[in-house]
Amino acid sequence: MKRSSFHLWVATTSTAFGAGFLIYSTYVTNNLQVVGEAWLNETYTHMYGIQPSTATISMLWASVIAAKEVGKIIGTFLIPYMAERFGRRGGLLLNSWIVFAGCLICLFGRQWAYQFIMLGRILLGISMICGFGLASLFLIEVAPLKSRGSSGSLIQIFRGLGGTIGMVLALPEVLGTRSLWSIALAVPMFPALLQFLVLLFCLESPRHLYITEGRTEDAAKAVEFYQGPDRVASAMNDLKKEKQQIGQKIDRAGLVDLLRSSDFWRPMLLTTLALTNRSLAGILPVQSYSTDMFVAAGLSHYAASHSTVVLGVCHLISAIAVTCTVEKWGRKPMLVAGNVGCLAALLLVALFSACSHVVWARYMAVLSLALFMLIYPIVASVSNIVASEICHQRYRSYAFTVGLLVYSIVGLASTYAYPLLKHSVGLAFSFIPFCLCLIVTIIIYIIWLPETRGKTFESVAFDRNEMKEPLLTPMGSNLESLGSAEAIFANHYPVHEADASDNSEDEINLL
């Protein structure tokens, strides 16, 4: 393995591991509900001197779960500041400290009051959404064109791993006991520590260095670090072309300024839909309440908690398969097919749940949810890649902010509303709103989503007919100097003839 390939593999794997594993905090509460509610009952009685009702305890536990969603909403406003002020790598380093703080508060907060557990999960929610946004940008921007999809989908593998480990560690046989359950909440600090230590020795995204910061020399060094010296000239040429389309100097326009630009709206709306697609598919209720779903379908609590682990394993297996195949098919057909599959799986869950008085139908409901978890990583992986590829460097972090804000709001609403919806209409009909959302999403993708596989950010923008004019008026534009910079790097890093023929990078096996 080349030295640059090793750098790329270590940087992308550790980044995806640290950011993707944070989904653990969503899954771990699934099998902790019984012991968590018992602890809330004792703590509430000790604090206020009265015995809480069952409804009060259920609402408090829902608040513990939803605190993470509140943190995600807060975190969306921090992403553009962290991404632009500290860079992608610097933002991820800072985010690791937020993970440490949240885990430590969850670990020791049970000794004080349940409000501290909520505070710790708010911090974990902030770190989860910031880590996801920053890691998505970093992974897409450091990878060569041909391996951009597999690099961006790495997060889903570790999300599947984090979810599976979260449900296993929360079992009563492991850490799901009255004395150990707070330790289960603090596990994400270990992947965050690994990510922090690795990124200390890595370089910033070359795209951020060149286009946003204007640091040409540092950008060339970053390209050489991640892709090798024989790719510097062609990579710098691609960056030059993209920068010519949006103006040489990136003015520090804020989100409000961008919202006034018509060029920003279409990619922002498509990015928002792609990122929100995961919530619209109904994944958050499945992640948070699948054990309760299985109990409602007629399984015992023991069988339900272990069936939930099967869902995590299905997610992990499918995420690995998607990462290995994402570059073989187009983004658009994969997204459409994934959403159609999720729709079919949810309809099967609704059908078999309605027949839960028949014993075999209960297990078919479990298999239908397992089918959903096998298909869902297609939607999650590809929608994340599309969201990263659809926007230019100039406003990518801001589009992610808007998209993740909507995603977090939808997630908070579905996390709070789903238990009420299930108790009101029953398990069989509780998935109908998600099915309707999936139908609308499929139609929008078919009509408006452009194909982004194998295309530079510049060509995707031209496919949208968006970059005929600069997004905002450039300040101090001096495009001629870019040509001279290109000549300098072409002299120092000559492009091989084989590379010049297609102006593309060799595919790097990231797995």
Sign of CA dihedral 171, 95, 264, 205: negative
- State in Å, rounded, how far the first CA of the chain is from the last one: 12
Half-sphere exposure (CA, 13 Å, Cβ side) for 17? Answer: 18
- Residue 101 has what pLDDT? 97
pLDDT of residue 492: 44
Q: Could you tell me the CA-to-CA distances from 500 to 217, 219, 220, 242, 503 in Å, in that order?
A: 22, 20, 18, 18, 5
* In contact, 318 and 373? CB cutoff 8 Å: yes
Determine the Cα angle at 319 with ends 313 and 325, to 5°. Answer: 140
For the whole model, what pTM was predicted? 0.74
Tell me the H-state helices in 186-261.
189-199, 206-207, 216-227, 232-246, 255-259
Residue-wise DSSP of 108-163: HHTTT-HHHHHHHHHHHHHHHHHHHHHHHHHHHHHS-GGGHHHHHTHHHHHHHHHH
Q: How many residues does the chain have?
A: 511
- 144 backbone dihedrals φ, ψ, rounded to 5°: -65, 160
Phi and psi angles of residue 417, each rounded to the nearest 5 degrees, phi first = -80, -25
> Which tokens in the block code for residue 113?
């009051």
Burial 25-41 (b: 16+ CB within 10 A, else e): bbbbbbbbbebbbebbb
Q: Are 244 and 482 in contact (CB under 8 A)?
A: yes
Distance of CA 39 to the CA centre of its chain: 31
pLDDT of 459? 57
pLDDT of residue 503: 39
The per-residue pLDDT for 504 is: 39
Q: What does the pLDDT read at residue 130?
A: 94
Angle between helices 87-109 and 189-199 (to 10 degrees): 150
Per-residue confidence in pLDDT tens, the chain, 511 aa: 577 788 999 999 999 999 999 999 988 988 898 899 999 999 999 999 999 998 899 889 888 988 998 999 899 889 888 988 999 999 999 999 999 999 999 999 888 889 999 999 999 999 999 998 899 889 988 988 777 777 777 888 898 899 889 989 999 889 999 889 999 999 999 999 999 999 999 999 998 899 888 899 999 999 999 988 888 888 898 888 877 766 544 444 555 666 666 666 777 888 889 989 988 888 877 877 787 777 877 778 788 888 888 888 888 898 888 888 877 888 899 999 999 999 999 999 889 888 877 878 888 888 898 899 899 989 988 888 888 778 766 677 777 778 888 888 888 888 777 877 887 888 788 888 999 999 999 999 999 888 877 666 555 654 554 434 333 333 333 333 334 334 434 444 444 433 433 433 343 333 3
| Residue 107 near residue 143 (C-beta atoms within 8 A) | no
Supply the pLDDT for residue 477: 36
- What is the three-state SS of 400-424? HHHHHHHHHHHHHHHHHHHHHHHHH
Alpha carbon of residue 177 to chain centroid: 30
C-alpha 212/C-alpha 251 separation (Å) is 9
pLDDT at 348: 92
Amino acid 454 reads G
Largest CA distance in the chain: 79
Structural domains in the chain, CATH included, are 3-214+233-248+258-468 (1.20.1250.20)
The H or E element that residue 160 is part of is helix 154-169
- Would you say 403 and 390 are in contact if contact means Cβ atoms under 8 Å apart? no
